[in-house]
Structure 1
């Protein structure tokens, strides 16, 4: 059982039972839920003390003294947003709810400020030519183009570091010396950075064959080095580990509006007409979590892109899951994307 699940109690529990739970779980809060785990209220040790000062009997049901309008977080909130709410309202804990207001977690200030150290390797792809961003990439690799005051790849690196990751590999091809010079061995960030170099472009999947595969013993993050996102990497890791797959691909919902009225027919008869219909698709977001077995299946020198590699796994009846990205996401592939990134960076 996850630690936060031990904080769940029913509205009929007494103050005395709530105190016992508070002492046992040591997170200074219990969450009162119904039979479907929908949140009804919260009770902190402060609430209990106030009830005792009012001389409420210990057999009083907690629903009589609980806070019925607690602050809560949503499933896709990142660490920065959670910390901001905690600071604004002087909170030590924040229940996490899904869309049906069911409790799915509990964030505590102590845990957020004492970040875990995660050993999962992170593989950042930084070998592309960035041809659609020329002339900016004529003398600078795309991952080193600055958004605000920092290169794109440095922003990605620091987001992983803030989540607790410290083992990094960077794949290079175009102007590799500039990337190596900027990031070095990672010591200035307190992490380890190692490099693999593609003499010839191998594709996002083929570069996996250059990794020291005997060292890949945990699920590996693979991410394109030209993305800006506030994706919660820990949520992605939890999802991947909890859903048994050789790979998890992050996807983004994409809408396309047909600029004309669409006519549906049967033979020469019109059956219906839809004016400028909107079609929705999931597109590849360029972020993956890969099992060690999948990483090790790629032989050195193999040229293959990630979509093809995953299609092969699906054809072999292996499970490949998708993880929708609802957070901010921007692929900086074109000049207009780069300009948009400059405008939106301050709000990230």
Structure 2
């Protein structure tokens, strides 16, 4: 829906407000000035009272404009917006840029109405997180909080909001903390099951996928991701790209940039061609998110350490194509204290 279709202007009639509310599937319409800056909101309940008091559909809506209450900034994730709605008891939240202009309106219907995906997702959450000690001495790394919510919960809600409702969580270190928190997933709008490793025999990111077999046949490509990521990547975009590429696996990528602290000399036959001052080359790197065909997972050896990268190497050695898909949305790995501090806005 185009943003212009869900906003109204100060001079609009009550009829126009009702039409905007109907289009948005919301309980309020948001009022902007000629520059698109947020002025306030008109609620369906206020319109009802005005009509009962004798106002007509062509009456001006301006006397009904109230403060819009809360708004959010561009880039705030789905989970945070849903929390905001629930906390305030509203069904819509405007997104306002630094100049006060409304650039989007989140509605409860749109956030909850993602196309259902029949793929299952596996979140790897069994690692020890030694680089984040002592924070991880008694809390699994994926359960560390970012913006008031465990990282793992952010991932679960992102998957559910993207249409995936069957999720497996791979467990090892402090498994009971995660199981006690999520249970069967009912409170999070999904079904959660657990891949439990023997704590004395870690299986790695690939080996734990072999445990899926105990839950019956999986027929759709499996979405696999590390449990220590803060990201709002496009789940549907990745799954659709994998389906269109005719590959057995797809690896999501992000860009790593390295700042060279010197002037780089480019030369040919011992003669200087040009000087590139402090270049910053970049490379695609593994984002810790994958889509893997069930037939490939069936070939993972049981009961031993098997990194998922070894599975990808095996596919390549057999001549089976592996695709790459760039993450264009926010992505951050939480593996070191500095990265956690950055995600929390402390650095």
TM-score by length of structure 1 reads 0.66
Helix, strand or coil for the counterpart of 1:120? coil
Residues 32-71 of structure 1 correspond to what in structure 2 (within 5 A)? Answer: none
The Cα RMSD (Å) is: 3.2
**Whole-Å Cα distance in 1 between the matches of residues 152 and 204 of structure 2?**
18
Runs (4+) of structure 1 moved beyond 4 Å?
76-81, 88-91, 108-113, 264-272
Q: How many angstroms does 1:299 deviate by?
A: 2.4
Helix, strand or coil for the counterpart of 1:281? strand
Helix, strand or coil for the counterpart of 1:174? coil
**What does residue 232 of structure 1 align with?**
234
Residues 142-161 of structure 1 correspond to what in structure 2 (within 5 A)? Answer: 142-161=141-160
Helix, strand or coil for the counterpart of 1:218? coil
Cα deviation, 1:24-65, whole Å, max 9, x if unaligned, reads xxx9xxxxxxxxxxxxxxxxxxxxxxxxxxxxxxxxxxxxxx
Contact 1:128 1:142 in 2 (8 A): yes
Cα deviation, 1:254-278, whole Å, max 9, x if unaligned, reads 2111111223456765554432222
Contact 1:185 1:193 in 2 (8 A): yes
Cα deviation, 1:296-338, whole Å, max 9, x if unaligned, reads 1112113221222112211211111111011000001110111
Verify: 1:255 aligned to 2:257, yes or no: yes
**What does residue 206 of structure 1 align with?**
207
Residues 306-321 of structure 1 correspond to what in structure 2 (within 5 A)? Answer: 306-321=308-323
Residues 182-221 of structure 1 correspond to what in structure 2 (within 5 A)? Answer: 182-199=181-198, 200-212=201-213, 214-221=216-223
Residues 286-301 of structure 1 correspond to what in structure 2 (within 5 A)? Answer: 286-301=288-303
Cα deviation, 1:161-186, whole Å, max 9, x if unaligned, reads 11111111111111111111111111
Contact 1:78 1:231 in 2 (8 A): no
| Structure 2: gaps (5+ residues) | 1-22, 24-74, 82-92, 96-101
Q: 1:141 to 1:109 in 2, by over 3 A?
A: closer
| Structure 1: gaps (5+ residues) | 1-26, 28-75, 92-107
Structure 1 stretch displaced more, 291-300 or 260-269: 260-269
